[in-house]
Amino acid sequence: METEQKEKDSQRLQLILDLMRFRGQLHAVDAFLWLFIMGLPAVPGLIVREFFNILTADATLGWNVYSVLGLWIALVTVNVGVIFAGRHTKTQHRFAISALVRRNMLDALMQRPAAEPLQNQNGQVTNVGEVISYLRDDGRQIEDQLQFLPELNGIGVFAVFSFIILLTVNWQVTVFIFIPLLVIVGVVQWTWNRIQKLRHDGRQATQKVTGFIGEMFSTVQAIQVAGATESVLRHFRAANDLRRKTMVRDELFSAILGAVFRNIVTIGTGIMLLLLALRADLTLTVGDFALFVYFLGFIGEFLAFFGLFMAFIRQTDVAFDRLTSLAPERQPRFLTESKPMYFNTLLWQRVDLPPIEQPQRDPVKQLNLLEVNDLTYLHPDSGRGVKDTNFTLRRGELLVITGSIGSGKTTLLRTLQGMLTPQSGTIRWNGQIVKDPKVFFVPPRSAFVPQVPMLFSDTLRNNILLGLGRDDETVLNAIYTAVFDQDVRDFPAGLDTQVGSRGTRLSGGQVQRTAAARMLVRRPDLLIFDDLSSALDVVTEGQLWARIFENKEGWRPACLVVSHRPALLRRADQIIVMGDGQVRAQGRLDELLAHNAEIQHIWGQDQNAE
């Protein structure tokens, strides 16, 4: 238990240190400015003492009342300047910290096997809406944590300064200040776990709410069509209600903690005042007394702040835990790793962005032979998947995978590309073992059109290129090959057509052909298609294949295709028939038709009238 806590402490410290080093200079300047913002208000304490001492004729410095007050006004001017400067650096730094955390988190999520569901700290599947709550709320907590430090630092330095001055006035009374400090530390230690649990519950409930909003609006059509708005909203209200309960509890506890800290401080102050008054031998001036009241307030503020800081750290632990658990395969420090971010400068000037990295073609690695041996992936919850799959594919060949739904065709494509992590088996590219398929199977080596492709809220051009540097002519060529040219010609805005969120402004077939163009424009060695037939009619699909195979530029890709279309089966150099996650039969169409019942069934359905 204890060592676990130590480990956690050192890990959190490490993450915070990483973030302090990221934009370290900015952080240092910011901390320096905040030293003054938090600390300058302490100086008037001395002014006030001098003022009262002058009035009661105890003064020794020889100032008069008005020059002392003039000094204060000068101080105000400085203070205003420092506030503007400090707020400015703070804004920059705040944004930098949370932007870095958000980026690192997104990066890590995007690099996970793409077809595996996102999971949270409890191993539960997490939807996109929930992840957004992680990015937003936990990112914010970390941002706040980083800002807490310079502020605490600022108050702290001046609290120490006040403390020293008080010591010189009367040390016997001043040392009593440690009593409230110790009590505060004790309270925080004592409530440590409770702070964390409440925060955890609150976040969990929040994430349920955002997750459900995401669900609601991604399936809005189904809900509307079912006339189920009422019951769905009722569920939403219930989730909201749970969140209210946990959040009120969390907020109440924080308030109680704050009140306890302040009480400890006031009681401490009260006791010290009493001690001051009871010491008959003490000769305090009214000025000294005013100073005591002023500085004690100051130190008290620091103590309360310190207590809150300790509690806050506990809440930050929750945020760190939650975020790092989304990418359990990584060391927690991925979250705070320093990366170039291209922020605007402090003077708001834009920084030029680097060009998007382009895929590099390596002629030596051009595909000649792809060998897949004993490839296996079984879904952990259902046990379904693909088992011990073998095939080879040569340059320019067409391999068609067929079989009934649920037989593992899509899983095979995904496992090959590392979107699901293969559990066993090897993949060889030109004889060389592919170590990390997820990184390897990308353009210019391969590209993929999933069964339900996803388009992004952007222009048609950007959706096809996705950062690839090609001119419009090349894009239009790819669109032609994808048999999308007729449609695009009819779009008034052509390539600049905005494709709405989730690409819903296009029909299913148009989305699929956009995705095909996206793949084709990359000219990969290996084309991977997952069943085009669900959204394309036979004629269109036939045209598409014809255009791919008859392209004039001498590009001869290998094709790995899930399909049932007779025309394509006929064209295939090789067919794999899958059933229950295993290869049931393999060969050319005529060979298979001779012995395989399943292919006879598939073939028969479409050819029964021939």
Partner 1 sequence: MTVALLGGITLQLIHPQVLARFIDVAVADATADALLNLALMYIGVALGEQVLRVVSVYAASSVGWTATNALRADLAAHCMSLDLAFHKTRTPGELIERVDGDVTTLSRFFSQFIIIILGNGLLLVGVVIALFFVHPLAGVGGLVFTVAALLLMLRLRNIAVPYFRDYRQQAADFYGFAGEQLTGREDINANGAHGFFLRRLFEINQAWMLVYHKARLASTTLWASTDATFALGSVLALTIGALLFQGDLISIGMVFLIFNYFSQLARPITQIREEIELFQQADASIQRIRELLDTESRLDAGGETRIPDGAFALVFDKVSFHYDDPDSDEERDWALRDIDFELPAGETLGLLGRTGSGKSTTARLLLRLYDPQRGEIRLNNVPLRESPLTDLRQRVGLVTQDVQIFEASVRDNITFFDDRIPDRQVIEAFALLGLTSWFETLPNGLDTPLGSDGRGLSAGEAQLVAFARVFLKQPGLIILDEASSRLDPLTERLIEQAVDRLLEGRTGIIIAHRLATVQRTDRIMVLENGHVVEYGKRAELAQTPDSRFSALLRAGQMDLLA
Q: DSSP letter for 501, please.
A: G
Regarding 240 and contact with partner 1 (CB under 8 A), the answer is yes
Residues 322-341 that bind partner 1 (CB under 8 A): 341
What's the min distance (Å) between Cβ of 588 and partner 1? 20
How far apart CA 101 and CA 98 sit, in angstroms, is 5
250-309: which residues touch partner 1 (CB under 8 A)?
Answer: 251-252, 255-256, 259-260, 262-263, 266-267, 269-271, 273-274, 277-278, 286, 289-290, 293
CB of 107 to partner 1, least distance (A): 8
Which one of the spans 11-19, 146-154, 190-198, 242-250 is the region binding partner 1 (CB under 8 A)?
242-250
CA separation, residue 490 to residues 456, 494, 495 (Å):
21, 7, 11
**377 — phi, psi (to 5°)?**
-150, 120
**According to the binding rule CB under 8 A, does residue 421 interact with partner 1?**
no
Choosing from 28, 160, 248, 433, the residue that interacts with partner 1 (CB under 8 A) is: 248
* Rounded Cα distance, 276 and 273, in Å: 5
Which residue number, 14 or 107, has a Cβ lying nearer to partner 1? 107
Contact 576, 586 (CB under 8 A): yes
| Per-residue tokens: 401 | 């995978």
Can you tell me whether residue 112 is helix, strand or coil? coil
Footprint of partner 1 on residues 61-80 (CB under 8 A)?
Answer: 65-66, 69, 72-73, 75-77, 79-80
Nearest to 567 by CA among 545, 595, 594, 592: 545
Q: Does 489 bind partner 1 (CB under 8 A)?
A: no
Cβ distance to partner 1 smaller for residue 187 or 247: 247
CB of 129 vs partner 1, minimal distance in Å: 6
Nearer to partner 1, 170 or 417 (CB): 417
d(CA 586, CA 372): 14
Judged by CB under 8 A, which of 535, 575, 576, 599 binds partner 1? 535
Which of 7, 8, 24, 56 contacts partner 1 by CB under 8 A? 56
Which residues make beta-bridge pairs with 406?
none
Q: Which is nearer to partner 1, 234 or 552 (CB)?
A: 234
Contact status: 552 vs partner 1 (CB under 8 A)? no
From 117, 172, 176, 472, residue interacting with partner 1 (rule: CB under 8 A): 117
Whole-angstrom distance, CA of residue 409 vs CA of residue 400: 10
Pairing state between β 558-562 and 398-403 = parallel
Q: Name the minimum Å distance from CB 374 to partner 1.
A: 23
- Report which of 571, 507, 535 is spatially closest to residue 450, judged by C-alpha positions: 535
In the window 215-234, what residues touch partner 1 (CB under 8 A)? 215-234
Collapsing DSSP states into helix, strand and coil, what is residue 393? Answer: strand
Q: Which of 157, 466, 495, 546: binder of partner 1 (CB under 8 A)? A: 466
Q: How far is the CB of 536 from partner 1 (least distance, A)?
A: 7
Minimum distance, C-beta of residue 112 to partner 1, in the bound complex (Å): 8
Instruction: Check residue 546 for interaction with partner 1 (CB under 8 A).
Output: no
How many residues line the site for partner 1 (CB under 8 A)? 169
Give the separation between CA 109 and CA 99, rounded to whole angstroms.
Answer: 15
In this structure, what DSSP letter does residue 60 have?
Answer: -
Name which of 318 and 506 has its Cβ closer to partner 1: 506
Residue 381 as a binder of partner 1 (CB under 8 A): the answer is yes
Closest listed residue to residue 365, CA positions, set 335, 399, 385, 395: 395
Nearer to partner 1, 11 or 466 (CB): 466
Binding mask 120-159 for partner 1 (x = CB under 8 A): -----x-xxx-xxx-xx-----------------------
Q: Which is nearer to partner 1, 199 or 414 (CB)?
A: 414
* Given 104, 162, 191, 210, the residue binding partner 1 (CB under 8 A): 210
Which CB sits closer to partner 1, 3 or 608? 608
Q: Which long-range contacts (CB under 8 A, 24 or more apart) does 288-293 make?
A: 288/49, 288/53, 288/169, 288/170, 289/52, 290/48, 290/49, 290/51, 290/52, 291/45, 291/46, 291/48, 291/49, 291/165, 291/166, 291/169, 292/166, 292/169, 293/269
Of residues 27 and 518, the one with the C-beta less far from partner 1: 518
Measured CA to CA, the distance from residue 540 to residue 578 in angstroms comes to 26
DSSP conformation letters of 547-577: HHHT-TT----EEEEE---HHHHHH-SEEEE
- Contacts of residues 189-198 at CB distance under 8 Å and 24 or more positions apart, as own/partner, are 191/253, 191/257, 191/311, 192/314, 194/253, 195/253, 195/257, 195/311, 195/314, 195/315, 196/314, 196/315, 196/317, 196/318, 198/246, 198/249, 198/250, 198/253
| Positions in 396-415 near partner 1 (CB under 8 A) | 404-407, 414
Site for partner 1 in 152-191 (CB under 8 A): none
Token pair 């915070």 is found at: 16
Nearer to partner 1, 182 or 452 (CB): 452
Burial class (CB in 10 A: 0-12, 13-18, 19+), 411: buried
The binding track of 573-602 with respect to partner 1, each residue x by CB under 8 A or -, is: ----------------------------xx
> If DSSP states are collapsed to H, E and C, what string results for 399-450?
EEEEECCCCCHHHHHHHHCCCCCCCEEEEEECCEECCCHHHHCCCCCEEEEC
Residue closer to partner 1 by CB (options 346, 433) is 346
Q: Residue 163 or 292: which CB sits closer to partner 1? A: 292
CB contact at 8 A, 322 and 120: yes
Q: Which of 173, 291, 367, 528 binds partner 1 (CB under 8 A)?
A: 528
Give the residue with the Cβ less far from partner 1, 12 or 290.
Answer: 290
Taking CB under 8 A as the criterion, the residue among 63, 95, 161, 480 binding partner 1 is 95
Among 27, 200, 322, 565, binds partner 1 (CB under 8 A): 565
